[in-house]
Structure 1
């Protein structure tokens, strides 16, 4: 849509406020809203934000980052194609935004711009990326006297009982997402009580990241209408299963490639229909995975989920339909083999900024393709069942066990930091080290409680 179509749509739907949204380094969705009467001009000129917002942490502190203090501004410039009417609040709509400097140049510290930059790098090589996320979340109730959250029901994994228990709120969530043009694939109850999983259709990788934000906002907003709280926190209940945001990604031939429109991860002659180029991509991801998780699992709470034998991935390994490795190569679907080839990154959750997570995933995979990195042998068993000596022989590394350890790995990974750029690397590390320090002296219960509402 152009700006005139957006303004006409907003006014015809009696929208009063349009939210200009972004996801920050802390993984928090933030923004400001313009009145519809000012929408046409704001689309062009944007909404001003202090540069310090990219140094703002998920614990509402300001990390120390040079150039991100009280002086200076950037502008939130909306992507008009993301315009969505919000069905869970009155007279409101939203758009996802890029961060742009006051001289109209994209700001180097913008996560969404980073992902777009990686898609341009792909395009230069005749490729494009599609992605979809498996969204795991809990529905909960809050005790008004104690302030404690508890699962909204006692449903069992994949049980129809759970589908019945939350049928009305889930139907309302799906209806709200459909009205915002999010294509639904699958829905089911997960391992934990009142834990849900929603799978959506693949999309261009930037749109897929936008959808992550849209889905988080919509699920939480609709749940509130039913007196429930929805949380995407990685480990919202210490005694229950964690929630991931498994990334499914595939590479396709671009318009200028030798194979336009072809799924480059598919090869009928290879095991599982997975191509050699795909294996190089996997090799790159595994080479960089210990730094990558600092971006895909972006909170101290994340590392309570990444444990051996919990089907969340604790080791830098891959396998065909192996759900304990960092990367699973899913089996193909009969009749659409060529279209269904993809990889699943399991060490990811919603506390990571989706633009940073997907952009870094592409950077790691592209390094594998450019350097023809061999991912090694596919693992046929849970890597956690090997001895330490056997894992070392096979080159299988344990993923970081704390956010601080992951940040140290990211800081040492020159491929990822070069892709991110100096400003984004500097601000992200500062924000996340601030959060890690904040929770260092907190109890597990305090940490969990703070992450519950945040995500």
Structure 2
């Protein structure tokens, strides 16, 4: 779809507003909306935003970043390929945007542009990436200023499917209307906790889907007087919610068309290739810094606990759901297509463009330097003693966002991939969020994260 197609469709559907959306350094989806009559010029010119918005935190304060104050602007330029009509908002459409400087060039602090740069790195090596995310979230009701789960269903329980059948059906219909195909849906471990998985897509589209799924689930839930939250740990006494990333790497031809899954080798254990192992080696080498981007909130680290199936250690294994990376078993009849890795230490407080871009950067470092990931783990890494884990090179993931940010600052591969402005602004935003919650109770922290995600 091009800009002209978008304008024509908006006119045909009598839209009044078109939202220009982006995901910021705080992991919050923000934006402005243009009146539909101005859409033609707005798509060309963009909508102005102060440079300070990339120093804006998830607690509505401004981090100190040189050049991101009250002076200066960038433009939100929409990608017409992301245009959708919103089923949950009357006469409204939306598009996801890149941040463009006044010189017409991509702004260095744009997360979506960062992912595009990593896609270009892959293309230089005749590779392309695909991904899909498992979206976990809670449905809740507001009671006396607090949130409570909308039901008391059990993990995978059909009772839970019945309890929320109408809202779930409306969510699925709304996603289908936006050409987002849902692969699986089930109730999760917590009461009223849901999980939906969408189909694999080229990596940029996969990141766009993360934003669109979050927007859609929350928007539809409100029509049923419910709140949907993707916060990592919205209830202190219940299971956390992740955004597990399923990722695959593909060989491309000279036209950029995918030809073969580079993670597949029928002669290797589990059908997982040596190149795939090097990619895993790179991710594990940088995992303690990577989680600063994939698990981007103080609330995230209440979820990353041993024996909670959320991953607490930098380990991998075949169908090992306690490792940071799981290599899923292949599906009969489509073995070559189904080879992928699952990154479990990821949640919706991370910006999906930063998370996926950094995952690529870490994995490419593993391929370039042929980093050996070591032996796959056959048991829960948390069941080893400290000495056994040290012998196996298995390290605890950071237990706080501050610790993860320390690791990110020291990781030259990831910071160089991000670039100075994006790395500096992201770390500053996250340090400010850490400082905000230092004197808050766990209950105050969870309540703040509940609504924003």
TM bucket (normalised to shorter chain) is over 0.9
Determine the C-alpha separation between the residues in 2 that align with 1:256 and 1:380: 40
> 2 CA distance for matches of 1:436 and 1:390?
33
Where does residue 139 of structure 2 map in the other structure?
Answer: 139
Q: Decide whether the 8 Å contact of 2:84 with 2:93 is kept in 1.
A: yes
The aligned counterpart of 1:20 is 20
Question: How far does residue 392 in structure 1 lie from its aligned partner after superposition?
Answer: 0.3
Q: TM-score, normalised by structure 2?
A: 0.99
Give, in angstroms, the shift of residue 4 of structure 1: 1.4
Residue equivalent to 1:365: 363
**Equivalent residue, structure 1, for 2:3:** 3
Alpha-carbon deviation of 1:234? Answer: 0.1
- CA–CA separation in structure 2 for the residues paired with 1:409 and 1:5: 45
Q: 1:142 to 1:256 in 2, by over 3 A?
A: same
Alpha-carbon distance between aligned partners in 2 of 1:278 and 1:5, rounded to the nearest angstrom: 40
Q: Kindly indicate whether the alpha-carbon contact (under 8 Å) linking 2:128 and 2:258 is maintained by their aligned counterparts in 1.
A: no
Structure 1 residue 260: Cα displacement: 4.9
RMSD: 0.9
Alpha-carbon distance in structure 1 between the residues aligned to 2:89 and 2:288: 40
Q: Does 1:422 align with 2:438?
A: no
The aligned counterpart of 1:225 is 223
In structure 2, the residue matched to 1:305 is 303
Distance 1:395 1:171, change over 3 A: same
For residues 201 and 224 of structure 2, the distance between their equivalents in structure 1, rounded to whole angstroms, comes to: 30
* 1:275 positional shift: 0.2
Once the two structures are superposed, residues 55-110 of structure 1 have per-residue CA deviations (whole angstroms, 9 ceiling, x without a partner) of 00000000000000000000000000000000001000000000000110000000
Aligned equivalents of 1:430, 1:92: Cα separation in 2: 34
Whether the 8 Å contact between 1:289 and 1:316 is mirrored in structure 2 is yes
Matches within 5 A, 1:385-424: 385-424=383-422
Measured in 2, the distance between the counterparts of 1:200 and 1:3 equals 26
Assess if the C-alpha contact under 8 Å between 1:153 and 1:194 holds in 2.
Answer: yes
- Residue of structure 1 equivalent to 2:322: 324
Report the Cα distance in structure 2 between the residues aligned to 1:259 and 1:232, rounded to whole angstroms: 34
For residue 137 of structure 1, report the CA deviation from its aligned partner. 0.1
Superposed CA offset, 1:230-262 (max 9, x none): 000000000000000000000001123999510
| 8 A Cα contact 1:127 1:257, kept in partner | no
Q: Which runs of 4+ in 1 moved over 3 A?
A: 257-260
The 8 Å contact of residues 74 and 100 in structure 1, kept in 2 or not, is answered as yes
Cα distance in 2 for residues equivalent to 1:112 and 1:282? 24
Q: Distance in 1 between matches of 2:448 and 2:256?
A: 50
- TM-score, normalised with respect to structure 1: 0.99
Preserved contact between residue 316 and residue 377 of structure 2 (Cα < 8 Å) = yes
Q: For 2:37 and 2:161, locate their aligned partners in 1 and report how far apart those are by CA, in whole Å.
A: 42
What pairs up with 1:85-96 in 2 under 5 angstroms?
Answer: 85-96=85-96
The aligned runs of 1:15-164 (5 Å cut-off) are: 15-143=15-143, 146-164=144-162
- Structure 1 alignment gaps of length 5 or more: none
Matching residue within 239, 261, 285 for 1:287: 285
1:192 and 1:241 in contact (8 A); partners too: yes
SS at match of 1:262: strand
Q: Say whether 1:197 aligns with 2:195.
A: yes
Whole-angstrom distance in 1 between the partners of 2:43 and 2:98: 11
Contact 2:214 2:230 in 1 (8 A): yes
CA distance in 2, matches of 1:133, 1:183: 12
Worse overlay, 317-326 or 252-261: 252-261
Cα drift, residue 3 of structure 1? 1.4
User: Match of 2:186?
Assistant: 188
| 2:260 match: secondary structure | coil
Q: Which residue is 2:345 aligned to?
A: 347
2: CA distance, partners of 1:227 / 1:452: 16
CA 252–151 in structure 1, closer or farther in 2 if over 3 Å, else same: same
Instruction: Choose from 268, 273, 276 the match for 1:275.
Output: 273
* Corresponding residue number in structure 1 for 2:253: 255
Q: CA deviation at 1:302?
A: 0.1
